[in-house]
Amino acid sequence: MRLAILSDVHANLEALEVVLDDLRRRECDRVVCLGDFVGYGPNPNECVDLLRPLVEGRSVAGNHDWAAVGRLDITFFNAFAQEAIRWTQQALRPPVTAFISALPTEWSHEGATPFLAVHGSPRDPIEEYVLDGATAEENFRHRPFALCFIGHSHVPGIFATNGGAVETQLFPAEEPVHLEPSARYLINVGSVGQPRDGDARAAYAVLDAEEAVVTLIRLAYPVERTQEKMVREGLPDVLVERLSVGR
Ligand code: ZN
């Protein structure tokens, strides 16, 4: 079974459409979403409508999702994020709000190559960022998972341990990573709708569960079209501009 694992769509419809076309071309059997469906981008309702039939029962909530439906205090977000969250709150249609409100904080895949799926970290699924080996190590100690897919930082990367110290590895596109049965992994799949690793292309990962191989995919999408909509909706310039550079 091939699973597409995507995160941080952030209401970017153009990026999402390109990713969905690609995962269909790669004949992925299932799609898993690691949260932040909305926030920042101009098409929250459209993105949820498109994704929902594919990921229902296989998706989790992110911090922006919770903020958009009033489950998280927005004063903890920076000023631009707060502005985008307020815009999202007034834009969301009731059925979309209901879907987001009901998202769980974690999901588990059983079968070949079982894994845990969360937005932030296994220890704190909604808010914690795993940005370094020390935080990854604390999470490995906190829970007994062998493999966990995360998003939240919008930066693809791999944290791995084979009993010893946690190694931080790059996760370059189109280079299949063979998961060792004895090792443990925290794998960040990057962001579909707002990449922040200096590469403006949309990111997602494909897991071949039988082969235990995971591959990062990067895809160009019509960024200007998303940006035009953001300008039209009055979303902050900083959020518009960062899409061009992937920061
Ligand atoms: Zn996010």
**CA 29–ligand 1 middle distance (angstroms):** 25
**CA 8–ligand 1 middle distance (angstroms):** 5
Q: pLDDT for 9-33, tens place per residue?
A: 999 999 999 999 999 999 999 999 9
Q: Which residues contact 94 (CB under 8 A, 6 or more apart)?
A: none
Give me the domain span that covers residue 85: 2-245
**CA 63–ligand 1 middle distance (angstroms):** 7
Residue owning tokens 């699924």: 125
Residue 88: predicted pLDDT: 98
**CA 116–ligand 1 middle distance (angstroms):** 18
**CA 133–ligand 1 middle distance (angstroms):** 20
| Residue 102 belongs to domain with CATH number | 3.60.21.10
The total number of structural domains that make up the chain = 1
Averaged pLDDT for residues 188-200: 98
Q: Which residues contact 28 (CB under 8 A, 6 or more apart)?
A: 2, 3, 4, 206
**CA 145–ligand 1 middle distance (angstroms):** 23
163 versus 149: which is more confidently predicted?
149
Residue 14 falls in which region: left (phi positive, over 0), alpha (psi -120 to 50) or beta = alpha
Q: How confident is the model at residue 103 (pLDDT cuts 50, 70, 90)?
A: very high
CA–chain centroid gap for 20, Å, is 14
Question: Which helix or strand (DSSP H or E) is residue 141 part of?
Answer: helix 133-142
